[in-house]
Chains A and B, each alone.
Chain A
């Protein structure tokens, strides 16, 4: 057998291995966030008035802007994956990854502004909590845990996407298309979690 008949390393490697690993991790993440969603459903059915009163104190404008930012970032990272796989458009990938990371950072900045306002309005679940309806405090306890854990995931995603963007811009081999796709899967999952957090935290009953 001569060298020419040996399969190339890239062809031997199963391109689905990384994707499968990420999907298994994301399935475990479904259960990680899933427990919190179950706690939410329990609270909402136990204290419906408190939940509605508390949700009206969340900032629906900033929440909606953040939702739009995240949905847009997901679309852009999907485009980055398509570009990475297309020989004639590979040069766009780094820019699109930077754009995604920037939108993620903007999301985190807005979330920080929201948390600061929540703190000022005594919406942190402490003895000086502002809303005098049973269950409202429990809502905000869960609100901070869920949005906090989501923000941690976002921060990791921003870091990974920025590192990939930097590596692609400098021609690093590890930033190849398969790895961009795996990182994008993680980013889309963070988006998926927010898709459910948005109506559950910001839109309980706005008409009251």
Chain B
């Protein structure tokens, strides 16, 4: 009986956390939608990405249970993200420092046709 009530308390706590996370995720989705209609210049993308980062943190921390996971699983999750950041940095350096000569394939074809005499 005592065990049952402990289980029930654990479940209720989990269910409440899941419900709160769902409300937060929907609210953040609406905030992201609203921000796209504001004239923020480059901050439009920053706002969209920042909100997406908070949403993904909620999903990873609560739904994917990183909050209660051991060091090994947290390390694997961080390693995936860390290696992606290294890829991003190396690709960024390449694009920023390389002179790009566009091939005709990269020019949108309908633009070529519309500018042709």
Contact = CB atoms under 8 A, between A and B. Distances in A.
For this complex, into which size category does the number of interface residues on chain A fall? 35 or more
For this complex, into which size category does the number of interface residues on chain B fall? 35 or more
Contacts of B73: 16, 19-20, 23
Interface in A95-145: 127-129, 132, 134-138
Contacts of B33: 60, 64, 203
Interface of B: 4, 7-8, 10-11, 14-15, 18-19, 21-22, 25-26, 29, 32-33, 35-39, 44-45, 48-49, 51-52, 55-56, 59-60, 62-65, 69-70, 72-73, 76-77, 79-81, 83-84, 87-88, 91, 95, 106-111, 114
17 contacts: A16-B73, A26-B80, A27-B80, A29-B80, A34-B84, A35-B87, A74-B59, A82-B18, A86-B11, A88-B4, A127-B110, A132-B114, A188-B60, A195-B52, A200-B49, A204-B45, A207-B36
A34 B29 contact: no
A82 B15 contact: yes
Contact of A204 (B4, B21, B36, B72): B36
Given A27-B76, A86-B10, A137 B22 contact: no
Contacts, number: 158
Contacts of A87: 7
A152 interface: no
A78 B29 contact: no
A191 B59 contact: yes
A78 B81 CA distance: 22
A154 interface: no
Interface of A: 16, 19-20, 23-24, 26-31, 34-35, 38, 41-42, 44, 50, 60, 64, 67-68, 71-72, 74-75, 77-79, 82-83, 86-89, 127-129, 132, 134-138, 181, 184-185, 188-189, 191-192, 195-196, 198-200, 202-207
B37 A207 contact: yes
Nearest to B3: A87
A16 B7 contact: no
A78 B63 contact: yes
Nearest to A55: B36
A60 B36 CA distance: 11
A50 B108 CA distance: 11
B81 A20 contact: no
A115 B71 CA distance: 42
A71 B15 contact: no
Nearest to B41: A205
